[in-house]
Amino acid sequence: MHGPLGSHGEAGYDRALMRLYSDLAGWFHLLTAPEDYAVEATHYWQGLLDACDGPAETLLELGSGGGNNASHLKRWFTCTLTDLSPEMLAQSRTINPECEHIEGDMRTLRLGRTFDVVFVHDAVVYLTELDDLRAAAVTAFEHLRPGGAVLFAPDYIRETFEPGTDHGGHDGADGRSLRYLEWVRDPDPDDSLYEVDLVYVLREADGSVRVEHDHCLEGLFRREEWIEALRAAGFEAEERPGVEPEEFPGQRIFIGRKPA
């Protein structure tokens, strides 16, 4: 699954309401496991390689979460992983101890150094305002060397959105298990938001079971809005329909290349 949870507050993201990224973060890899990302990470690697002019050795990820994609991308890149949530960075460190981890908001992060490529996966869905998307594009631009490229992979754009349900989960080596039901809806097709409810069934190692719920609003932007946000930041921008994994029909890939 992609992009669970989020909340639309004044800042576009209210951590207080994000249970999976705060008090439930220790369950994240049982909701969505690193091994499930091998195929799609290869697509992102290929997309970044095609887009980047010159060597592609260093990668900055914005919103790296539990580090599932990074656990594969680190075979090809030296990865710097950034996220708003310290709890999620802690989860990522458990599977990516060799990667640099830094706390930061993709709209405002400024590390004062550049990378060959920038990668923004499903964390971008938590940007619910067009101005936030534009700010994230500027962050990517500021962290790329000339000729470098960014790849954004939103779960949906306005044109590809479909309501639906999904379920899944994993059994952990520590005896804990998680199963979830995800329900995705779009109450108002005229705005730039969709709604996600998630119910988690959490089984502890001692067999006790509890049920938790999360609800969030996520961002939905039109193709032209994506392209415009990237161009406004200074990128040569394009959509790459060929890169998205087949199992995510709503996902679209946007590439920005920083002029050499």
Q: Is 121 in the site for ligand SAM (CB under 6 A)?
A: yes
Q: Give residue number: closest CB to ligand SAM.
A: 65
**43: contact with ligand SAM by CB under 6 A:** no
Q: Could you say whether residue 13 binds ligand SAM (CB under 6 A)? A: yes
Is 7 an interacting residue with respect to ligand SAM (CB under 6 A)? no
Q: What is the DSSP letter of 109?
A: -
Residue 40 lies near ligand SAM (rule: CB under 6 A): no
CB under 8 A, 24+ apart: contacts of 80-83:
80/111, 80/115, 82/106, 82/109, 83/123
Q: Exactly one of 63, 148, 219, 256 binds ligand SAM (CB under 6 A); which one?
A: 63
Q: Which range, of 42-50, 83-91, 143-151, 160-168, touches ligand SAM by CB under 6 A?
A: 83-91
Complex with ligand SAM: residue 83 or 116, whichever CB lies closer: 83
Token pair for residue 80?
């710097």
- Residue spans of alpha helices (H) in the chain: 28-31, 38-51, 70-73, 86-95, 130-142, 223-233
Beta strands per DSSP E along the chain: 58-62, 78-83, 100-103, 115-120, 144-152, 164-171, 177-185, 193-203, 209-219, 236-239, 254-257
Residues 96-115: x where in contact with ligand SAM by CB under 6 A, - otherwise, as a string: ---------xxx--------
Contact call for residue 122 and ligand SAM (CB under 6 A)? yes
Residues in touch with ligand SAM (CB under 6 A): 3, 13, 21, 62-69, 83-85, 88, 105-107, 121-123, 126
